A and B are shown apart, each in its own frame.
Chain A
Amino acid sequence: MKRILILLLISMAFHHVTKAAILDSLYLIKESVTYNATTFYKGALSDSLQPIQYDNAVLTVQGSSNDSIVIMNMDTIDYELYLNTDNNQTWTITAEDTLTIELPLLDWGTHAILSTTTEGKLLGTACILQVDLQADHIYSWDQWDMNNVLSQEIAAGTEISIPATYRPNVFTINADPLAPMDTSNALIHGYVGDTILISVLNSGNMVHNIHFHGYHCTILGASKQSDRVGWSKDSFPVMIGETMTLRLVPDQPGVYPVHNHNLATLLYNNNYPSGMMTMIKIYE
């Protein structure tokens, strides 16, 4: 009996040591980005400073472990961060400081770390957490909207909210306003019959939505629309701050667009198609 107890204690200690790990070190940034001569400010929990990655990090997390993330605040202001699926889970990271945040046990699906601090909230500072996802291919789409002039005022601290006359002209997937291009990491590749999981985050300032050409997908998780879990859809909203997990099992080959069906978001510098559109490429 005593021996079993000791073994149990040893195994628990062992369990703790091996499973809790530092997943990644991320940089909290607020930087100006220029695409095709238009400049806007973007916030991010970034994987890299050289070269700067403006898209938010996507981390693979084991839900059964209390993994940690090291965050280096490269900005000159303090940030408050929170978990989108548990508002009680908050972390404060002071200016130009480093903080190790320990994640709670997380349910299967997609979660995100977001910011309540004005700059982080409006400029889309976030980190996507993919918990226990298993599939042939796993992708993520992070939708964010902004007005380029407004973003400079937000970055300068002269504007602290989204005005009633908000007219966004920057629409990005994974921080890229040119997501239909082949260079975007939003593009999905797979074969007929594959299981493809897509994590979705709306880190923007308005409700977005997604329309699939070619396929319906199944909503496996939706942090603000639990009533729609299990639905097979081709068009659906993604609420502000929401994370969703989608399953796509393509039944035909081809190249198909996926895009926001608020068609005023398919633009950048008044060029169509840009903005919140990407492609699915499925091979035979």
Chain B
Amino acid sequence: MMRNKLIIIFSILLTSNSFSQVQEIDLVSRMDGSKTLIDGTVIEFWGYGEDDPNLNNDKIFIPGPVLRFNVGDTVIINLTNDSPEDHTIHWHGLDVDQANDGVPSTTDAVGSFGGEFTYTFVCKEPGTYLYHCHVLTTLHLAMGMYGSFIIDPEAEDQIYENSGKFTKEYNYLFSEMNTSWNLNPLSPGQFYLYEADYAMVNGWAGSEIEDKNQSIEGTINDSIGMRLANVGYGRVETIFPNDLEVSVYGSDGREVAEYTADTIQLYPGERFGVVGYPQTAIDDSIEVNYYDLRNENLLYTNYIPVSIIDDTGLETFSSNKLSIYPNPFREEIVIDKVKKRGSASITDLNGKIVWDGTLEEGENKVRLNLDQGVYVLTYQSQQYKLIKH
């Protein structure tokens, strides 16, 4: 009953599954972020968040929200600047026109204390892009004002229109931090002395990567789509597990002739679209090394756990954890590896139930018409974070 009512409400707001729509979102830029690093240090950051005063969720994050649209969509992004300095959004790689390019010297900055600007452009080519502030960029980007931007092709479960088909999808934005700037952003000192000493995968470092569900999980029949992006100022090297054969299908929102790679080097601002094909069961990780371009010193290493099980033979021992994908999702989410039939519910962050029903043993497909945001699936007293884009 609850579900039906919600579908009616949201069907008015969204027409599902067709391409080339007009999509409008509201973002906020703020300079009052606070984040605890893995060693307990509390730093300040500046960044972007979703602007929704009704839900009071105009909180900012490192990185900002993943912005995801379909090829052909006309995107309207309303930025409200709730901060004491000017900011913009530059749509890195999207080749938008000068008026929407987010460069203060060629357009206008979005003024402090409530300034507003509406960016409008068409999503031209499927692939992986970035967005970031372009005001005093060396400082503002380093402070956290960046995020990923994804354009899906018309083809389902594919990175590009003609290539990059996957059964599971993981998107990794690599970034760095010069923590002394984030501890004291009002007097960062000479910019050329920038020293990255902390590095992240989707904003997480060290053991957080596993704790925050960034790990790759699947079976040997899965093809693991990965969008890799480097918004840091140094080189990022991703070293894949031996038994994950990785094919590169494109870079910077353009397809390239396919090739296989055991390592990918991402220089500042670059993006790659790849698919990993497990050759065996894997219990390993993707090693992510961050290097200083000035002297090739290794600054930081993160690991993205990769757990691939071989389910082709006998039943394997595995945890009671559900496998949920794609996550973030758009219309449909697959809740897989349900060990036993049982009831489940999905709530928003205010605890309001937006879906309840029964999960059957094995794989369950659930279509959800929800607003963008974070939701929580509860099943057998375990909670799972779901992200709707």
Complex contact A209–B267 (CB within 8 A): yes
CB distance from B194 to the nearest CB of A (A): 4
Q: Which of B194-222 contact A (CB under 8 A)?
A: 194
Complex contact A235–B95 (CB within 8 A): no
Q: Which of A57-65, A124-132, A256-264 contacts B (4 or more CB under 8 A)?
A: A256-264
CA distance A207 to B95 in the complex (A): 25
| CB-defined contacts of B307 to chain A, threshold 8 Å | none
B317 at the interface (CB under 8 A from A): no
Q: Which among A164, A213, A230 has the highest number of chain B CB atoms within 10 Å?
A: A213
B190 at the interface (CB under 8 A from A): yes
Cβ-neighbour of B90 out of A167, A213, A272 (below 8 A)? A213
Complex contact A264–B254 (CB within 8 A): no
Please, what's the 1-or-0 string for B83-110, where 1 marks a CB less than 8 Å from any CB in chain A? 0000000101101111001010110000
Please, what's the 1-or-0 string for A187-202, where 1 marks a CB less than 8 Å from any CB in chain B? 0000000000000000
Cβ-neighbour of A164 out of B233, B270, B295 (below 8 A)? B295
The count of residues in chain A whose C-beta lies closer than 8 Å to any C-beta of chain B is 41
| CB-defined contacts of B293 to chain A, threshold 8 Å | 206-208, 262
Complex contact B93–A235 (CB within 8 A): yes
Complex contact A235–B268 (CB within 8 A): yes
| CB-defined contacts of B234 to chain A, threshold 8 Å | 262
CA distance A227 to B248 in the complex (A): 12
CB distance from B235 to the nearest CB of A (A): 7
Complex contact A206–B251 (CB within 8 A): no
Say whether, besides A215-B95, A235-B269, A263-B233, A169 and B192 are in contact (CB < 8 Å). Answer: yes
Complex contact A231–B192 (CB within 8 A): no
Say whether, besides A235-B267, A257-B103, A270 and B192 are in contact (CB < 8 Å). Answer: yes
CA distance A250 to B268 in the complex (A): 23
CA distance A232 to B142 in the complex (A): 27
Say whether, besides A235-B270, A256-B106, A267-B191, A262 and B252 are in contact (CB < 8 Å). Answer: no
| CB-defined contacts of B193 to chain A, threshold 8 Å | 167
Complex contact A236–B270 (CB within 8 A): yes
Complex contact B98–A209 (CB within 8 A): no
Q: Which of B15-23, B71-79, B133-141, B365-373 contacts A (4 or more CB under 8 A)?
A: B133-141
Please, what's the 1-or-0 string for B261-297, where 1 marks a CB less than 8 Å from any CB in chain A? 0000101111100000000000000000000011101
Complex contact B235–A207 (CB within 8 A): yes
Say whether, besides A252-B97, A262-B234, A234 and B252 are in contact (CB < 8 Å). Answer: yes
A255 at the interface (CB under 8 A from B): yes
Nearest CB in chain B to that of A209: its residue: B267
Say whether, besides A206-B294, A235-B93, A264-B138, A214 and B98 are in contact (CB < 8 Å). Answer: yes
Complex contact B256–A231 (CB within 8 A): yes
Q: Which of A136-180 contact B (CB under 8 A)?
A: 162, 164-169
A211 at the interface (CB under 8 A from B): yes
CA distance A227 to B142 in the complex (A): 31
Complex contact A216–B95 (CB within 8 A): yes
Q: Which of A254-284 contact B (CB under 8 A)?
A: 254-257, 260-264, 266-267, 270, 272-273
| CB-defined contacts of A261 to chain B, threshold 8 Å | 233, 267-269
| CB-defined contacts of B97 to chain A, threshold 8 Å | 214, 252, 254
| CB-defined contacts of A230 to chain B, threshold 8 Å | 256-257
CB distance from A271 to the nearest CB of B (A): 9
| CB-defined contacts of B137 to chain A, threshold 8 Å | 263, 266, 272-273
Please, what's the 1-or-0 string for A232-244, where 1 marks a CB less than 8 Å from any CB in chain B? 1111110000000
Say whether, besides A264-B191, A264-B194, A270-B190, A214 and B252 are in contact (CB < 8 Å). Answer: no
Complex contact B294–A266 (CB within 8 A): no
CA distance A206 to B291 in the complex (A): 12
Complex contact B259–A227 (CB within 8 A): yes
| CB-defined contacts of A169 to chain B, threshold 8 Å | 190, 192
Complex contact A257–B235 (CB within 8 A): no
| CB-defined contacts of A162 to chain B, threshold 8 Å | 295
| CB-defined contacts of A263 to chain B, threshold 8 Å | 137-138, 141-142, 233, 268
Nearest CB in chain A to that of B104: its residue: A273
Say whether, besides A209-B268, A256-B106, A257-B103, A234 and B294 are in contact (CB < 8 Å). Answer: no
| CB-defined contacts of A260 to chain B, threshold 8 Å | 268
Q: Which among A206, A233, A236, A266 has the highest number of chain B CB atoms within 10 Å?
A: A233
Nearest CB in chain B to that of A211: its residue: B269
Complex contact B233–A262 (CB within 8 A): yes
Please, what's the 1-or-0 string for A71-89, where 1 marks a CB less than 8 Å from any CB in chain B? 0000000000000000000
CA distance A208 to B234 in the complex (A): 10
Complex contact B252–A270 (CB within 8 A): no
| CB-defined contacts of B103 to chain A, threshold 8 Å | 213, 256-257
Nearest CB in chain A to that of B93: its residue: A234
Complex contact A272–B294 (CB within 8 A): no
| CB-defined contacts of A235 to chain B, threshold 8 Å | 92-93, 252, 267-271
CA distance A260 to B294 in the complex (A): 14
CA distance A255 to B333 in the complex (A): 43
5 contacts between A and B (CB under 8 A): A233-B270, A234-B252, A235-B270, A255-B106, A261-B269
Which 9 A-B residue pairs are closest in the complex by CB-CB distance?
Answer: A254-B98, A235-B269, A261-B269, A261-B268, A237-B267, A169-B192, A263-B138, A232-B254, A264-B194
Given contacts A231-B251, A237-B235, could you give 4 more A-B pairs where the C-beta distance is less than 8 Å?
Answer: A211-B269, A232-B252, A234-B93, A234-B252
